[in-house]
Amino acid sequence: MKKLALLATFLLLPEALTTNANAAEFELSGKVGIEERYFYQQPQQSGQSGQSNLSIFAEPELYWSWNDDSDTVLFKPYLRADQSDTQRSHGDIRELVWTHVGNDWELRTGINKMYWGVTEFQHLVDVINQTDGVEDIDGEDKLGQQMINLSLVRDWGIIDFIVMPGFRERTFAGKQGRLRAGLVVNTDRAQYQASAGQQHIDYAIRWATSVGDFDIGSSWFHGTNRDPILTVTPKLANQEQVLNQENSSSIAQYELTPYYELMDQASVDVQATIGDWLWKVEGIYRNSDSDNYWASQVGFEYTRVGIFETAIDIGYLMEYGKDSRGEKFGVVAQNDLFIGSRLAFNDMQSTEILLGGGIDLDHNAHSLIVEASRRLGDSYKLSIDMRWFSSDSSKDVLTSISQDDHLQITLEKYF
Amino acid sequence: MKCSTNCYQSTVSTSFAIGLSFSVLLILVTAFSSNAATPEEEGLTISKEAKLRDLGWQDSSANMLMKLRNKQGQESVREISIKSLEVANDGDKGLTIFNKPRDVKGTAFLSFSHTVGADDQWLYLPALKRVKRISSRNKSGPFMGSEFSFEDLSSFEIPKYTYKYLGDERINDLNSFMVEQDPVDKNSGYTRRVVWIDKSEYRIQKIDFYDRKNSLLKTLTYTNYKQFLSKYWRAMTMSMINHQNGKSTDLVWDNYKFRVGLSDKDFNKNSLKRAH
């Protein structure tokens, strides 16, 4: 059942391709890149590698279209090789999706990615794809999700029906990896509430429309919660024996194991685009056996174009996150304020600088990021990212990475 | 319009130009109406005729090469495809898809332009698979780092300007009207633009753009006109020169097709995500 969507793609694709072979078009594009992370301080957690880490990655994109673009297949595999973290060295099929376009409907079958929501600092509403946690800490990298998605275009909006046969586990940094909690997450010991485990079939429905200045979306999801509950668990006996020989500290006897609950989530997201202002609201209500809560992220983005008689645009962003669970470990924003600024130089090289920070209003914890990027020549892109984390409360998720401030330089070649 | 010394000077030169071409004006006036038309009415009449001759094309698709050149002569190329849908009594709908530079491949831009009020614009970011509604107030901002602004590329609609006929001039070897068009929208980057429209086919030959301080900012020249469906003229080359920063951008059009069967369904958030 897990590979149903994938199977359907493979079964239907050759037939469609052969019947229209002369009309099929193929295109190859994609990117390869190299990334260096430099951490200013020595590792905080035991087992972590040193201050410098090199990583390479590739993401080719293969695209076929036929039937006058009514049928397309997109295949986007991803591969990363990391110098120190064996968990971060990983591969994924980001997309392998066959799309058939009808007159007022679309059917997307295979492994796909789908984004929901409007806010910038936290993505509460966006629950279809699992987070690829080893890629980056911003949660914006996602694993491909197997699905069958029927999308209907109506006068009153676009409605999407999604059936997801199979679940993707979140990826976590390994023992050698930085930017992780004190204990390592053992993904091999993941447990599920659903008796079918990873084979549980999830469902979602979404309606989205634009009315004047408003873009409105509302969705409902039933299935396995993408956010696991992490439990401190003693390591299994055979591992323990090995460990006893090399390390006698008690903390080394434990690890984190993920537990994936079933959940229902209802959500709404609205953006009002009025003049230079974008007003944004995301709200969710989530219900599972262990918890039921609501959370919201509200804010704005205001842009001034052509500052100081140049072509430069400056954007100011502010968002506030609230979570009814309060100061519980793992809650990203229970009473947090996010502030940011985006500079777009609008030059030939598309130079951009983004500054952002998050402040926890309940206790002393904050993070700061600077992201700058620029195209080099026609096919290279250079990005420089800097991140600082600080926390003096053990309740905050930032505590375990407060010594992981780093500089990241990425060079990508596009083809 | 804010009136400064510049404004006064331009008014003086305008009346001077009109004086010179008085006889031509007289013929035109009798041609368009029996009553003596003011330069404002005259300018409107010419612009309306140009718009009228371009009505009824329904939909089109085309590829565009955008060649950016800086002061030192360094070139950078963008490859873009554009689908357009004519909307009766309102601005056109457009879907712009980027193919080069490669780092923005698959990025697409959907716009519903309106004759009155702000346009609706959405941007699709393929890396995140995210559709984002964006502010359309950024009319004066550069499009993809080029010397074209968003408003330079939006469809021409009569209510967007007020008009004034300035006289006649021979340009690109064609007898042409000179019409001043003043943007109504206060977010426009221009105080005015002067448009040369040829008398035989009512095609735009040249536009001078004046910035908010009313000094000459850019000149756009239209060349290599081709006629489609035995009616609609499109310039295959559009060259924009920025007089203030020395940069220039050429748009070279290719594979222009009309009435390819596009409809509203090709201009929504789903089609934006399909852009390839």
CATH number at residue A222: 2.40.160.10
CA B145 to chain A, closest CA, distance in angstroms equals 4
Say which residue the tokens 């926890």 belong to: A360
CA B169 to chain A, closest CA, distance in angstroms equals 33
Give chain A positions within 8 Å (CB) of B189. 306
Q: Across-strand partners of B183?
A: B161
pLDDT value of residue A99: 96
Give chain B positions within 8 Å (CB) of A346. 141-142, 145
The count of structural domains within chain A is 1
* Structural domain boundaries, residue A172: 2-414
CATH of the domain at B150: 2.50.20.10
**Are the beta carbons of A158 and B268 separated by less than 8 Å?**
yes
Q: Which residues contact A376 (CB under 8 A, 6 or more apart)?
A: A349, A382
**Are the beta carbons of A350 and B104 separated by less than 8 Å?**
yes
CA A300 to chain B, closest CA, distance in angstroms equals 12
Q: Is B130 on the interface with A (CB under 8 A)?
A: yes
Q: Which of B102, B134, B141 sits opposite A415 (nearest CB)?
A: B102
Q: How far is Cα B97 from Cα B76, in angstroms, rounded to an integer?
A: 17
Q: What is the mean pLDDT of residues B237-244?
A: 96
Q: How far is Cα A74 from Cα A164, in angstroms, rounded to an integer?
A: 18
**Are the beta carbons of B135 and A273 separated by less than 8 Å?**
yes
Q: Any idea what DSSP says for residue B102?
A: G
Q: Across-strand partners of A74?
A: A63, A97
CA B177 to chain A, closest CA, distance in angstroms equals 32
Provide the mean pLDDT of chain B. 86
Say which residue the tokens 């007022």 belong to: A104
**Are the beta carbons of B265 and A153 separated by less than 8 Å?**
yes
**Are the beta carbons of A379 and B103 separated by less than 8 Å?**
yes
**Are the beta carbons of B189 and A306 separated by less than 8 Å?**
yes
**Are the beta carbons of B134 and A306 separated by less than 8 Å?**
no
pLDDT value of residue B18: 40
Mutate to test the interface with B, among A120, A155, A346, A383 (most CBs of B within 10 A): A346
**Are the beta carbons of B142 and A29 separated by less than 8 Å?**
no
pLDDT value of residue A8: 52
**Are the beta carbons of B270 and A65 separated by less than 8 Å?**
no
**Are the beta carbons of B141 and A215 separated by less than 8 Å?**
no
Q: Is B140 on the interface with A (CB under 8 A)?
A: yes
Contact yes or no for A373/A385 (Cβ under 8 A): no
pTM: 0.86
CA A22 to chain B, closest CA, distance in angstroms equals 20
Give chain A positions within 8 Å (CB) of B76. 348, 378
**Are the beta carbons of B141 and A346 separated by less than 8 Å?**
yes
Distances B220 to B170, B203, B208, B258 between C-alpha atoms, Å: 16, 13, 7, 24
Q: Which of B118, B128, B134 sits opposite A140 (nearest CB)?
A: B128
CA B211 to chain A, closest CA, distance in angstroms equals 11
Give chain A positions within 8 Å (CB) of B138. 303, 305, 313
pLDDT tens figures, B141-151: 888 889 999 88
**Are the beta carbons of B276 and A63 separated by less than 8 Å?**
yes
Q: Is B101 on the interface with A (CB under 8 A)?
A: yes
Size of the A and B interface in Cβ pairs below 8 Å: 95
In a domain, B96, yes or no: yes
In a domain, B61, yes or no: yes
In a domain, B241, yes or no: yes
CA B265 to chain A, closest CA, distance in angstroms equals 7
pLDDT value of residue B90: 86
**Are the beta carbons of B101 and A378 separated by less than 8 Å?**
yes
In a domain, B32, yes or no: no
**Are the beta carbons of B268 and A153 separated by less than 8 Å?**
yes
**Are the beta carbons of A273 and B133 separated by less than 8 Å?**
yes
Q: Which residues contact A217 (CB under 8 A, 6 or more apart)?
A: A116, A117, A118, A125, A206, A207, A208, A209, A268, A269, A270
Quick check: B184 pLDDT over 80? yes
Q: What is the mean pLDDT of residues B267-274?
A: 92
pLDDT value of residue B23: 46
Residue B247's closest chain A neighbor by CA? A348
Give chain A positions within 8 Å (CB) of B68. 348
Quick check: B73 pLDDT over 90? no
Q: Which of A104, A278, A347 sits opposite B145 (nearest CB)?
A: A347
Contact yes or no for B160/B115 (Cβ under 8 A): yes
Q: Is B273 on the interface with A (CB under 8 A)?
A: no
pLDDT value of residue A13: 52
The count of structural domains within chain B is 1
* Structural domain boundaries, residue B203: 48-274
The residue among A357, A339, A354, A337 whose CA lies nearest residue A297 is A337
**Are the beta carbons of A303 and B276 separated by less than 8 Å?**
no
Q: Is B48 on the interface with A (CB under 8 A)?
A: no
pLDDT value of residue A395: 63
**Are the beta carbons of A348 and B68 separated by less than 8 Å?**
yes
Give chain B positions within 8 Å (CB) of A312. none
Per-residue pLDDT of chain A (415 residues; tens, 9 = 90+): 444 555 555 545 545 554 554 557 999 999 999 999 999 999 888 888 889 999 999 999 999 999 988 999 999 999 999 999 999 999 999 999 999 999 899 999 999 999 999 999 999 999 999 999 999 988 899 999 999 999 999 999 999 999 999 999 999 999 999 988 888 999 999 999 999 999 999 999 999 999 999 999 999 999 999 999 999 999 887 655 555 555 555 667 899 999 999 999 999 999 999 989 999 999 999 999 998 999 999 999 999 988 888 889 999 999 999 999 887 766 778 899 999 999 999 888 999 999 999 998 887 788 999 999 999 999 999 999 999 988 877 666 677 888 889 999 999 999 9
Distances A166 to A8, A202, A223, A226 between C-alpha atoms, Å: 14, 8, 10, 12
Q: Is B88 on the interface with A (CB under 8 A)?
A: no
Residue A53's Cβ-count burial label (10 Å; 0-12, 13-18, 19+) is buried
In a domain, B28, yes or no: no
Give chain B positions within 8 Å (CB) of A378. 76-77, 100-102
Q: Which helix (H) or strand (E) holds B272?
A: helix B269-274
**Are the beta carbons of A303 and B265 separated by less than 8 Å?**
no
pLDDT tens figures, B200-220: 999 999 999 999 999 999 999
Q: Please name the amino acid found at residue A55.
A: S
Contact yes or no for B241/B59 (Cβ under 8 A): no
Q: How far is Cα B234 from Cα B88, in angstroms, rounded to an integer?
A: 20
Quick check: B11 pLDDT over 60? no
**Are the beta carbons of B102 and A378 separated by less than 8 Å?**
yes
Report the complex ipTM: 0.88
In 10 A of CB B227, how many CB atoms?
Answer: 11
**Are the beta carbons of A378 and B276 separated by less than 8 Å?**
no
